[in-house]
Structure 1
């Protein structure tokens, strides 16, 4: 069983570990340098100030096993209803439904924030993440070739999007 709740400052050590594992061992994050807890605390504070959620997935023993959040897609006003999200799950919990569980909660929060489109930017060879997003209703929206580099190779980026509502911008 997995519980989903808002992240708190006490979750920062585990969030940092999950983030740094992804930096060191995956192409899910295209950064090559690990971060410290102060970095992740600043990230959490930035999300909170913006009114955006940072959620954690908790296992039966109370341990943080994943986290997810979203932020602005782009800085300009015309994009104010579009967001890009991130979701990271502890390695030993991959493919156990944790990602989908936390994503459902994040999608719900995005709708409650009045957002219209949620965007996923996923390394093109991360088929498991792409499939999970598709099962949640995301549709492929684009593919950029060789726009990143990590582990000495070029990386492609696949974009997926989920339309969260059918409201016209005039009704907002």
Structure 2
């Protein structure tokens, strides 16, 4: 699938929030309990301020099919060489290699910024994401068990790390 990476901007707000809200409603991959209004998009943008954040746009149909971003792991300069990585691909476009394209793009950007470690925070129920990250040389650095409650069940957060 042919995609281009566009810097996330206000023009992507509606489509990105639709993608994010799909994952909020359908499982624990996105942590909020309830769908979020479009105004939440400003918080997504703020989270990655000073870091790369992209909308994935399909060349074929000119629509947003996902988004990806880096954000600081911790605001203290002590941790400036570590970033969190996030990506969400529209459900109908998963399994087409877009996650890998996001990872490679963000990894390249991170290296250029002097970032040496990437951290992914993944729901313990998101087996596909855990396996994807393992396949791409992330390792499980730790897990906080049963710390979230969504859909009346507990789930944990798996921390995966990759040195780049």
Aligned equivalent of 2:4: 3
Residue pair 1:22, 1:29 contacting (<8 A) in 2 also: yes
Deviation readout 1:32-77 (Å, 9 max, x if unpaired) = 1222222203432553xx3111112122211101101121112233
Aligned equivalent of 2:18: 17
| Post-superposition offset of 1:8 | 2.2
Gaps of 5+ in 1: 165-172
Aligned equivalent of 1:169: none
Question: How many angstroms apart in 2 are the aligned matches of 1:84 and 1:124?
Answer: 17
2:162 partner SS: strand
Gaps of 5+ in 2: none
| Post-superposition offset of 1:133 | 1.3
TM superposition outliers: structure 1 runs of 4+ over 6 Å: none
Residue pair 2:47, 2:71 contacting (<8 A) in 1 also: no
Question: How many angstroms apart in 2 are the aligned matches of 1:4 and 1:88?
Answer: 14
Aligned equivalent of 1:36: 37
Question: How many angstroms apart in 2 are the aligned matches of 1:4 and 1:26?
Answer: 26
1:89 partnered with 2:69: no
Question: How many angstroms apart in 2 are the aligned matches of 1:33 and 1:137?
Answer: 32
The two structures, once aligned, show a CA RMSD in angstroms of 1.5
Aligned equivalent of 1:73: 73
Judged with a 3 Å threshold, the aligned counterparts in structure 2 of structure 1 residues 45 and 30 are, in CA distance, closer, same or farther, namely closer
Give the count of matched residue pairs. Answer: 162
